[in-house]
Amino acid sequence: MCQSNRNLRAFIQAGLLLICAMGTLLPSLAANGPLPPINLRCEYLKNPLGIDVLQPRFAWVLEHSERGQRQSGHQVLVAARQSVLDQDKGDMWDSGKVVSEDSTQVAYNGKPLESGRTYYWKVRYWDQEGNASSYSPAAQFEMGLLLPQEWKGQWIGGANQLRTEFQLAEAVVRARAYICGLGYYELRINGSKVGSSVLDPAWTTYEKRVLYATYDVTSNLKRGANAVGVMLGEGWYKSRSLLLQMNIELASGKQISIASNPSWKAKDGPIGSDSVWDGEIYDATKETPDWDTPGFNDSGWTAAQVVKNPGGVLSAQMMPPIQVVDTIVPLAMTSPQPGVYVFDMGQNFSGWTQLRVKGPRGTAVKLRFSELIYDTGMINRENIRGAKSCDIYILRGDEGPELYEPRFTYHGFRYVEVTGFPGTPGLDALRGRVVRSAVDSAGNFATSKPLLNQIQRIIRWGQSTNLHSIPTDCDQRDERQGWLGDAHVTAEEAMLNFDMAAFYTNFIRDIRDVQDAAGTITDTVPHRYGSRPADPAWGTAYPLLCWYMYEQYGDRRILEENYDGLKKYVEFLRSKAPDNVLRYSYYGDWVPVEKTPGELVSDAYYYYDVTLLSKIAQLLGKSADAQTYSQLAGQIKDAFNREFYDAKRGVYANGTQTANALPLFLDLVTKDNRDAVAGNLFQDIAYHHDSHVTTGFIGVKYLFPVLTRLGQADLAYDMATQTTYPGWGYMIANGATTLWELWQKRTGPSMNSHNHPMFGSVGAWFYQALAGINVEPDSVGYRRIRIEPQIVRDLTWASATVETIRGTVSSYWTHSPGVITLDVVIPVNSDARILIPKEEQMTDVVVREGDRVIWENGRAVPGVPGVTGVSRGKDGSITVEAGSGRYSFKLTGQ
Ligand code: BGC
């Protein structure tokens, strides 16, 4: 590079730096008072396309230059045109100034929203002094096809490739494609794939509901000839049908629709077979290039057939689609036998591989997937049972390398065996492609203890790669089902790690869809495995997921919409418990080290469900129901104690950790017996099991919060950090990169998935106890926050951040002898109770916030902005009441 160029570059760089520096400085100079709201969401989604909720709910996050701030009012504008919104007008809805604290779950209340229309919205707020922010940047949402009669197409099939062509006489101003292609589809227009979703649509109970996606295809279409091609896979539908409609607005304002009908052409393409469990066979010699572009000669194709309507109502798919979210470079490749190459991705995950290969036409390369490997270096597929999990690619024989990724299958794997490869593959022959529902990350958690960070890592991998439009039990074997037990025990952990609001909204509707007139639901949703009625410890997912949605996101509407369903479910349980004890059970505390009687587990959940129903009834103003169910809960509690409490031993049933933890967690234990039961639980853990967990996946969810609540966080921590069997550290010590299904290390043909998220429920305890981030019990949606970290054993720091529905909440503490620091972030429009722990022996405690003292000589020192109260708790910990803002506390003592 010549000198002058270099100077120019340096000059530009310096300029950029200056602009960046000004960029960071300027807002803070100008940023006094309330800042414009950010992170605008509609039905939990950012700028969603194609929603079918008629009164969608809005949420925004507030920012302010000062601490202790809240919203005293807001104004939402919704306009049918961006230009109207730009003039600060809302021709669809102008809420006016609403005196309200609500910055989430604000329901649209304007003119009726119309099918297919895009709406633009923004919001401003007033802080507690009555100062208004400027308006937020504009966001948008768009309605789907709201009425059944607006669907003009027919369900068609007949082959795994369908195509049509059409002419557009004018330029396209706006075009939308509405598509439901079962089991899976790939939509292509004029030679390219539309959108980035894969394995779409979501798996539903197809005879009840099918989901369609909406795409903006304006830029895919052109004046003149256009072609649409759709590839179909069998997916969970086990058949192929397409319903498609494109609504196109031309330059003159003319509207036309292109819809699926028997005038379309059909012909099987290169995909020879596809199956979720078994894999895909793709014969590239059968490709017909340009089949999805106009002018293609389809005279050899047959007419598409009209096929059976799947039967379910068409609903908009309103959650993050499944996508390729990441690409993994393999760690290593070996050749355990001539011609057999085994790639190690270094990580267990769900998805597939991208194959890069060059060779003679007709060469078949076979990819077989496994989680495990034998000592010989060959892949071990015993634990994937009946799933063939095998992709075959037959080469075209191009001059350059050919790239292949399957479309309509996915695998759970770490290892890939490649056979039939022409020549010797290099590491660049394969890339891992991570495929899952593309929910955003919402939380992170880290501590000074590397083992905990490793556990957190395998929890996140296990959890996220089991999100496949429904929460699945595993991703590799001939199952991959929405087992409800696994779904509810992991839900809190999932909500702290990922933005799950839209995902669970959809899944709760899936649960409602399987409910029958008798109120029963099924073990798996959609129902394919397991029983109807569900095991009560599985069926409880229905009330529990609704409740977690309310607690974490403040979603009252989900309670309203499901109230009748929940009541029917509880009434069904009641019909099975004439003496107030619910005994039927199939699985109980599944995969434990020590078994607990299933009846105890079922009955405890019966109590839990009835209690929740009574609370929900109360919340929704159904006071008669609230009373009925709270009385019933009392009767169940009495019966539970009569049936399961062993007064001689001071334990429930056979005294396992689960048998005692469940009643303690649910407050089923009478006051007189509490100390005995708690004491026996501690004894069992510490002395009989050397601080190891012995529960199955039900008990473990409650064991950790119970111990914490009873002041035994150290004991919980001991269990969480064991490196010997049974425990998470044992999995890590044995090379786990995702959570196992069993505490035991098994690799045979039995049930032993190596990517099963349900033991990851301890992840919620990481956030809630170790970092201390909680919703206050009397509050929801992080309106009131409780920061209550547990400073345990050798941990010298812990840190977590959660992007809640109201904004960022974070907690970071450090502990060194005599000094505890705690940094906290509370979003605007929330307040917090912050419990700063102290060392047990500490006296003469002094607490500072920044460089100002807030507690000294046993008294609060007022005057620190945002801090509204400081007091001392029974255990000597210091409780700070604070409004929004960032705080840095430091507690010292003698
Ligand atoms: C699944 C579990 C599920 C269980 C029911 C298994 O096959 O993988 O996680 O909850 O069946 O007992």
Q: Which of 590, 602, 761 to mutate to test the pocket of ligand 1 (most atoms within 8 A of CB)?
A: 590
Q: Which of 371, 486, 540 to mutate to test the pocket of ligand 1 (most atoms within 8 A of CB)?
A: 486
Q: What is the DSSP string of 446-496?
A: EES-HHHHHHHHHHHHHHHTTBSSSB-S-SSSS----BHHHHHHHHHHHHH
Return the closest-CA partner of residue 177 out of 207, 135, 127, 142: 142
- How far is ligand 1, taken at its centre, from the CA of residue 646, in Å? 30
Compute how many other C-beta atoms are within 10 angstroms of the C-beta atom of residue 332.
10
Under 8 Å between Cβ of 664 and 712: no
Enter the tokens of residue 195: 């959108």
Continuous segment of H or E residues that includes residue 185: strand 184-189
Q: Is the CB of residue 473 below 6 angstroms from any atom belonging to ligand 1? A: yes
Q: Which of 470, 473, 474, 743 to mutate to test the pocket of ligand 1 (most atoms within 8 A of CB)?
A: 473
The number of CA neighbours under 13 Å toward the Cβ of 155 is: 16
DSSP structure class, residue 798: E
Under 8 Å between Cβ of 700 and 706: no
> Collapsing DSSP states into helix, strand and coil, what is residue 370?
strand
Residue having the nearest C-alpha atom to atom 9 of ligand 1:
473
Q: Is the CB of residue 483 below 6 angstroms from any atom belonging to ligand 1? A: yes
Return the closest-CA partner of residue 559 out of 622, 605, 653: 622
Q: Is the CB of residue 587 below 6 angstroms from any atom belonging to ligand 1? A: yes
Taking 50 as the pLDDT cut, the residues of the chain under it are 1-30
Residue type, 660: N
Atom in ligand 1 nearest the alpha carbon of residue 485: 10
Under 8 Å between Cβ of 710 and 604: no
Residue 749 to residues 188, 382, 430, 698, Cα–Cα distance (Å): 41, 4, 27, 24
- How far is ligand 1, taken at its centre, from the CA of residue 451, in Å? 27
Residue having the nearest C-alpha atom to atom 4 of ligand 1:
483
Q: Is the CB of residue 503 below 6 angstroms from any atom belonging to ligand 1? A: no
Residues ≥6 apart with Cβ < 8 Å to 495: 442, 501, 504, 548, 552
State the pTM of this model.
0.96
In angstroms, rounded to a whole number, what is the distance separating the alpha carbons of residues 666 and 603?
A: 11
241-250 and 322-328 strand pairing: unpaired
Under 8 Å between Cβ of 528 and 481: yes
Return the closest-CA partner of residue 289 out of 387, 367, 398, 214: 398
Residue having the nearest C-alpha atom to atom 3 of ligand 1:
483
- How far is ligand 1, taken at its centre, from the CA of residue 482, in Å? 9
Q: Is the CB of residue 475 below 6 angstroms from any atom belonging to ligand 1? A: no
> Collapsing DSSP states into helix, strand and coil, what is residue 574?
helix
Compute how many other C-beta atoms are within 10 angstroms of the C-beta atom of residue 329.
11
Residue having the nearest C-alpha atom to atom 12 of ligand 1:
587
Question: Within the chain, what is the greatest distance between any pair of CA atoms?
Answer: 92
Enter the tokens of residue 472: 């699945």
Residue 96 CA, chain-centre distance (Å), reads 35
831-836 and 784-787 strand pairing: parallel
Residue 645 to residues 182, 653, 658, Cα–Cα distance (Å): 52, 6, 13
- How far is ligand 1, taken at its centre, from the CA of residue 590, in Å? 8
- How far is ligand 1, taken at its centre, from the CA of residue 483, in Å? 6
Residue 296 CA, chain-centre distance (Å), reads 42
- How far is ligand 1, taken at its centre, from the CA of residue 384, in Å? 14
Q: Is the dihedral of CA 790, 791, 794, 796 positive or negative?
A: positive
Atom in ligand 1 nearest the alpha carbon of residue 530: 5
Cis amide leading into 526 (omega within 30): yes
Q: What is the pLDDT of residue 875?
A: 82
Compute how many other C-beta atoms are within 10 angstroms of the C-beta atom of residue 670.
13
Q: What is the DSSP string of 877-894?
A: -EEEEE-SEEEEEEEE--
- b/e map of 189-208 (b: 16 or more CB within 10 Å)? bbeebbbebbbbbbbbbbeb
> Collapsing DSSP states into helix, strand and coil, what is residue 618?
helix
Under 8 Å between Cβ of 669 and 692: no
Residues ≥6 apart with Cβ < 8 Å to 516: 532
Q: What is the pLDDT of residue 1?
A: 37
Q: Is the dihedral of CA 731, 472, 558, 199 positive or negative?
A: positive
Phi then psi dihedrals of residue 207, to 5 deg: -75, -10
Q: Is the CB of residue 697 below 6 angstroms from any atom belonging to ligand 1? A: no
List the beta bridge partners of residue 651: 646
Atom in ligand 1 nearest the alpha carbon of residue 753: 8
Q: Is the CB of residue 479 below 6 angstroms from any atom belonging to ligand 1? A: yes
Phi then psi dihedrals of residue 826, to 5 deg: -120, 125
Q: What is the pLDDT of residue 360?
A: 98
Under 8 Å between Cβ of 820 and 591: no
The number of CA neighbours under 13 Å toward the Cβ of 524 is: 18
In angstroms, rounded to a whole number, what is the distance separating the alpha carbons of residues 228 and 162?
A: 8
Under 8 Å between Cβ of 380 and 374: yes
